[in-house]
Amino acid sequence: MATVTATAPDTRTFAGTAWSWITTVDHKRIAVLYLVTSLAFFMLGGLEALLMRLQLATPESDLVSAERFTELFTMHGTTMVFLALMPLSAAFFNLLVPLMIGARDVAFPRLNALSYWIYLFGGIFMNISFVAGGAPNAGWFGYAPLTDTAFEATHAIDFWAFGLQILGVSSILASINFIVTIINMRAPGMTLNRMPMFVWMSMITAFLIIFAFPAITIGLVLLIFDRYIETNFFIPEGGGDPVLWQHLFWVFGHPEVYILILPAMGIVSEILPTYSRKPLFGYAVVAYSGAAIALVGFGVWTHHMFTVGLGPIADTAFAISTMAIAVPTGVKIFNWIATLYGGSISFKSPMLFAVGMVSMFIIGGLSGVMLGSPPIDSQVQDTYFVVAHLHYVLFGGTVFGLFGGIYHWFPKFTGRFMHDGWGKVHWLLMMIGFNLTFLPQHMLGIDGMPRRVHTYAAEMGFDLWNMMSTVGSLMIGLSFLIFIINALRSIRHGEPSGGDPWDGGTLEWTIPSPPPVYNFAEIPIVDGRYPAWDIKRGGGHTGAVATAPEADAEADEPDIHMPNPSYWPIVMAAGMVLAACGLIFHQAFILLGAVLFGISLLGWIEEPSA
Amino acid sequence: MHKARPSVTRANGDESRPIQGRRSTPLTRNRRIYATLLAPALAVAVLALAACGVTPQTTLEPTTEAARTARDLLMFVFWAMVVTFVLVEGALLYVLIRFRRRSGDGIPAQTHGNTPLEIGWTIAPAILVVVIVVLTVPAIFSNARAAGPDALKVRAIGHQWWFEFQYPDLGVTTANELHLPVNREVEIQLESNDVLHSFWVPSLRGKLDMVPGRENKFTIKPEVTGTFPGQCAEFCGTAHALMKFHVVVETQAEFNAWLQNERTDRVAPASELASEGEANLTLGGCVACHTIRGTDSAGILGPDLTHMGSRKYIAAGILENTPENMRAWLSDPQGVKPGNTMVIPELTTEQLDSLVAYLQGLK
């Protein structure tokens, strides 16, 4: 796909090709790895969801056993959050951040590869549990003390706890990498105030990860202590407090929601201007509201705990902070609509997904305001109303946004279009299927159906809504299948797109597709927020012209210094995950993992940098 | 907003031409588009109405002040959100249709922002949420108010996967069926014996968690007699879905009669078969976990069965208390409620019959 550097192995053989991917440190290839892996996990999480929907289609069904059902909803949530949506966002960070800021790679290319390999191995590690004695089964927020050995003596919870720790390392490393990249490697002239909005949202997301993950890291360490060395942090009999876990989890967990949605908001903030041919309306306000959401997002966590019994003062304080978040969120939406206003809107598939994101996210936001009021929450908390709400945010918002991004930047990845007609079919089916799945779930919650139930009695009156929901979920599954076929076909047979198929405004559209290894033959000088438009429109709206990079520079003989490929990242990641296996299977793995880690660390340090 | 931009050209080859304001569109065409969009919305609404069947666990039929406060707030915020939804999605749809690209469009006017407008739409949602907060806060405090001195006290204890109810001032312990007198204040104290559970009877009040090591309590005053379904609302392990209970709100006289009966020891077996059943309690392993006052059965791990024949449901609110269901439950506890800890040895048909007859007779 992308060209390889002169030092890379021979890609004419299969082994050579595989080796070139294993050792790659090119941000674009790592983006492809992230994309493919996260879509595979997305499919897995989707299959888990479909199994649950089939079980719930009819009352008192026994298609899936109660035990299996608990594994399915735990792994569905965990997979979608940590193995599908976060890494899918990471695919976009990897592809786009360097291209959008006019850099040749990220700040730490090997660290970038390490993040990916840790993610891949961590994801596999967690899913091995299905065939190694039982998958995690305490829900994706794993409330204590159900996670204690007294209630789950198998290793199911250990897979979950170690898996999340491993994935956390990957996320934090990637975040440091992108913060450094964004702060230090922007092309000359690209002030923070001229950064593409997607880069803004990437940076805010990276900061969120760095500040939010330590909370869950600590929580998981304490949980592992409770399970392995019989401490009592969350065990009431020993003086511990299960509510402490909830605080630690949601101090992480609420910002996590913004970690999942902000990248999609960034993508939409790039797509809407492109397809309406207008700059983003209220750029500064959109950036600041993103930052405001992130900041206030750290002060709302107990709205997940309104039914814990923290008392009216705490409930009031957190209801107010939660409501406050509606303001910057609303502002973003109004600014998006104003971006479209007066534009010349073309409805290509990326735009349909972006508009779908805005319209569905609105619903998730509004039901969020309802949940923010503790008396209302006391009724619908832990019911299907919450399931509906969170899917309007994370599916209606994040998934629609990210799919829009895939259709939009697929030509940049591959040099070819995805088929637009099939893209629209995908969108329509997903739109109908999504609403058919999740709209009725609001009613289920209000009618009193708790979440995480593997069955319900016929006389509860839940049948019709559940059947609709299952039919809708099958439509979503079908739409995803159409997407996959479309994508696979388009890689080889899609219509060639050229470097700038959408009349884009940001820097990545000034270079060929797929981009050369070194991205920019000559580092561009930036003089406005939409440098590519400036070039194409000859002065354009900012009244300034960026120095045009040589879009079709001679790729064969670039006198550009690029980082060498390295196999140490994959070795180091393997060492980490092997060590975690040691705590579950056999202690010998710990030693093996530590040795691999040590060797790779030395190798990493000693590796010639050029 | 549509200032004409003379002689804007596009570099990538599209035919470009000056924009002379937006061309007017035939109104009929827009109407048709709006109509197509409206049709499915209406279809959904009709379907929604048609689907309103009987839902006994609904949050929309409150029978206490606490549940009514939550319902009223829910309805108010819901309609406020519906209005917001219609306005915002309407604006979005309008803009999408009005400004769709037409052949010959050039580069539209490049607007970057409008400070007064943006301040305006920052303030608008702020006002809305302030209104909601103002309505919410008194409701939070009224839901949290303490009980008066005359309140009936109940301890509700969550177990995997059933509910224990104790009336500490009345000396009564029962399971899975909470009896309350109508129009009397009740203070329910929530505890857990193992993991997190949540006490939720939508018609009485929103849920409150049962947290091991903590004591939560709330006060309600049931206003309507009847049997109201409730269910554990916090995931508590394998059989979470099957951890249900019922609240029977009855007149003071009915409540007193129930109380009187609960305080007595078990009724002696009325038939020979039932007597055999009592004799089989040990064989069946029942004595290890269950209490039946008046017999040797004094276990404390499972529900008190002294008057279980009088309950409307068995197995934590999931099966009606009929001889057939009792037999099904006793012959395959794991099949009825996966993961539960009830252990019963293989019994002969006669032994099963005797136990069913005995337990049914424990009125």
Q: pLDDT tens, A111-135?
A: 999 999 999 999 999 999 999 988 9
**CA–CA separation, A249 and A212 (whole Å):** 10
N residues, chain A: 610
Contacting residues of B for A282, CB less than 8 Å apart: 112-114, 118
Q: Do A333 and B88 touch (CB under 8 A)?
A: yes
Q: Which one of the listed residues A116, A245, A250, A258 is annotated catalytic?
A: A258
pLDDT exceeds cutoff 70 at B320: yes
Structure-token pair, residue A302 = 């107990």
CA distance A151 to chain B (A): 8
- Which pLDDT score, from 0 to 100, does residue A599 have? 95
Chain B residue with minimal CA distance to A460?
A: B55
Q: To the nearest 10°, the Cα dihedral for B72, B73, B76, B80? A: -170
B23 touches chain A (CB under 8 A): no
Choice among A38, A269, A339, A414 that is catalytic: A269
Residue B11 pLDDT level (bands cut at 50, 70, 90) = very low
Q: Which helix (H) or strand (E) holds B362?
A: none
| Confidence check: pLDDT of B39 > 90 | no
| Type of residue at B324 | E
> Quick one: which of B337, B339, B344, B340 has its CA closest to B359?
B344
What's the pLDDT tens digit per position in A396-444? Answer: 999 999 999 999 999 998 999 999 999 999 999 999 999 999 999 999 9
Structure confidence by residue, pLDDT tens digits, A180-232: 999 999 999 999 999 999 999 999 999 999 999 999 999 999 999 999 999 99
Instruction: Give per-residue pLDDT as tens, A251-304.
Output: 999 999 999 999 999 999 999 999 999 999 999 999 999 999 999 999 999 999
Chain B residues within 8 A of A242 when measuring between CB atoms: 196, 211-213
Determine the residue of chain B that is closest to A449 in CA distance: B57
Share above pLDDT 90 across residues of chain A, in percent, rounded to a whole number: 89
pLDDT at B218 over 60: yes
Chain B residues closer than 8 Å to A346 by CB: 100-101
Least confident of A247-261, A394-408, A509-523, B239-253: A509-523
pLDDT band with cut points at 50, 70 and 90 for residue B1: very low
Mutate to test the interface with B, among A357, A373, A463, A542 (most CBs of B within 10 A): A373
Residue B48's pLDDT is what? 58
Share of chain A above pLDDT 70, in %: 95
- What is the pLDDT averaged over residues A500-511? 94
Is A37 one of the catalytic residues? no
Element at B244 (helix H, strand E): strand B244-250
Q: Tell me which chain B residues have a C-beta less than 8 angstroms from the C-beta of A138.
A: 235
The band of B7, judged by pLDDT with boundaries at 50, 70 and 90, is very low
Q: How far is A447 from chain B (nearest CA, A)?
A: 4
Q: Do A284 and B73 touch (CB under 8 A)?
A: no
A189: left (phi over 0), alpha (psi -120 to 50) or beta: left
Q: Catalogue all structural domains in chain B, each as residue range(s) with its CATH number.
A: 152-262 (2.60.40.420), 272-360 (2.60.40.420)
Average pLDDT over residues A483-508: 95
> Catalytic: which of A129, A175, A329, A469?
A329
CB within 8 Å: A461 and B100: no
Question: What's the CA gap between A170 and A166, in Å, rounded?
Answer: 7
Mark whether A389 is an active-site residue: no
> Residue A561 — pLDDT band, cuts 50, 70, 90?
confident
Q: What is the pLDDT of residue A1?
A: 36
Q: Record the tokens describing residue B14, joined without a space.
A: 């599209």
Q: Is B118 close to A277, i.e. CB distance below 8 A?
A: no
**Window B:32-61, CB contacts with A under 8 Å:** 44, 48, 51, 53-60
Which residue in chain B has the smallest CA separation from A239? B213
Q: Which pLDDT belongs to residue B3?
A: 40
Using the beta-carbon criterion (under 8 Å), do B11 and A377 form an inter-chain contact?
Answer: no
Q: Which alpha helices (H) appear in chain B, and where do they start and end?
A: 27-50, 65-98, 115-143, 252-263, 272-279, 323-331, 333-336, 349-360
Q: For chain B, what percent of residues have pLDDT higher than 90?
A: 75
Q: Kindly report the CA angle at A393 between A391 and A399, in degrees rounded to 5?
A: 80
Rounded CA separation A546/A540 (Å): 11
Residue B238 DSSP one-character state: T
Mean pLDDT value across residues B329-356: 91
Q: How far is A398 from chain B (nearest CA, A)?
A: 18
A609 is catalytic: no
Q: Which of A98-102, A159-163, A244-248, B101-105 has the lowest mean pLDDT?
A: B101-105
Q: State the pLDDT at residue B245.
A: 97
* pLDDT over 70 (residue B23): no
Residue A483 has pLDDT above 80, yes or no: yes
CA distances from A399 to A84, A85, A89, A419, A505 (A): 10, 8, 10, 19, 24
| A451 part of the active site | yes
**pLDDT surpasses 50 at B21:** no
**What's residue A62's pLDDT?**
92
* Highest mean predicted confidence (pLDDT) among A34-43, A491-500, B17-26: A34-43
User: Which CATH topology does A24-565 take?
Assistant: Cytochrome C Oxidase; Chain A (1.20.210)
Backbone angles phi, psi at B317, to 5 degrees: 75, 15
Query: What's the rounded mean pLDDT across residues A475-494?
Result: 96
The stretch A493-498 carries a mean pLDDT of 94
Q: Does residue A258 carry a catalytic annotation?
A: yes
- By DSSP bridging, strand B186-192 and strand B152-159 are parallel
Q: Are A281 and B112 within 8 A, CB to CB? A: yes
Q: Are A507 and A497 in contact (CB under 8 A)?
A: no
Q: Tell me: pLDDT of B30 over 90.
A: no
Q: Is A331 in contact with B207 (Cβ distance < 8 A)?
A: no
- Residues near A187 by beta carbon (within 8 Å), at least 6 away in sequence: A101, A102, A103, A507, A520, A523, A524, A525, A526
Inform me whether the pLDDT recorded for A235 exceeds 60.
Answer: yes
- CA of A189: how far to CAs of A194, A284, A505, B260, in Å? 8, 17, 16, 86
pLDDT greater than 50 at residue A323: yes
Q: Count of H helices and E strands in chain A?
A: 19, 0
How far apart (Å, rounded) are the C-alpha atoms in residues A90 and A38?
Answer: 9
Gap from A518 CA to chain B (nearest CA, Å): 24
Q: Does B134 touch chain A (CB under 8 A)?
A: no
Quickly state the pLDDT bin for A14 (edges 50, 70, 90): confident
* Residues of chain A neighbouring B232 (CB-CB closer than 8 A): 450
- Identify whether A329 is a catalytic site residue: yes
Q: Provide the chain B residues 243-282 that lie in CB contact (below 8 A) with chain A.
A: none
Tokens 């107010």 sit on residue: A320
Q: Do B212 and A383 touch (CB under 8 A)?
A: no
Residue A548 has pLDDT above 50, yes or no: no
Active site residue A278: no
Which residues are CB-contacts of B278 (< 8 A; sequence separation ≥ 6)? Answer: B269, B295, B358
pLDDT category of residue B343 using cuts at 50, 70 and 90: confident
Quote ipTM for the complex.
Answer: 0.90
Cβ–Cβ below 8 Å for A447 and B58: yes
Best residue in A71, A274, A281, A376 to probe B by mutation, most B CBs within 10 Å? A376
* pLDDT value of position A562: 83
**pLDDT higher than 50, residue B19:** no
**CA–CA distance from A541 to each of A101, A412, A545, B8, B110 (Å)?**
20, 25, 10, 10, 7
Catalytic residue among A28, A29, A227, A304: A304
pLDDT confidence bin for B104, thresholds 50/70/90: confident
Instruction: Let me know the angle formed at the C-alpha of B172 by B178 and B305, rounded to the nearest 5 degrees.
Output: 75
> Which of A323, A330, A382 faces B234 most closely, judged by CB atoms?
A382
Note the pLDDT tens digit of each residue in B251-295. 999 999 999 999 999 999 999 999 999 999 988 889 999 999 999
pLDDT score at A133: 86
Nearest CA in chain A to B123: A327
Distance from CA of B230 to the nearest CA of A (A): 9
Is the Cβ pair B209, A340 closer than 8 Å? no
Of the candidates B168, B169, B145, the one whose C-alpha atom is nearest the C-alpha of residue B157 is B168
**Site from A379, A443, A510 to mutate, B interface, most B CB atoms within 10 angstroms:** A379
Rounded mean pLDDT, B318-341? 93
Q: Identify from A64, A65, A288, A341 which residue to disrupt to test chain B contact, counting B C-beta atoms within 10 A and taking the largest count.
A: A341
Residue matched to tokens 């897995």: A44
Its pTM stands at 0.91
Distances (CA, A) of A298 to A144, A332, A372: 22, 19, 15
Q: Which of residues 191-220 of B touch A (CB under 8 A)?
A: 194-196, 198, 200, 202, 205-209, 211-214, 216
pLDDT band for position B53 (50/70/90)?
A: low
Boundaries of every domain in chain A:
24-565, 566-610
Whether residue B94 lies within 8 A of chain A, CB to CB, comes out as no
**Which residues on chain B are in Cβ contact (under 8 Å) with A285?**
113, 118, 122
**Do β-strands B197-201 and B226-231 pair in parallel, antiparallel, or remain unpaired?**
unpaired
A140 catalytic per annotation:
yes
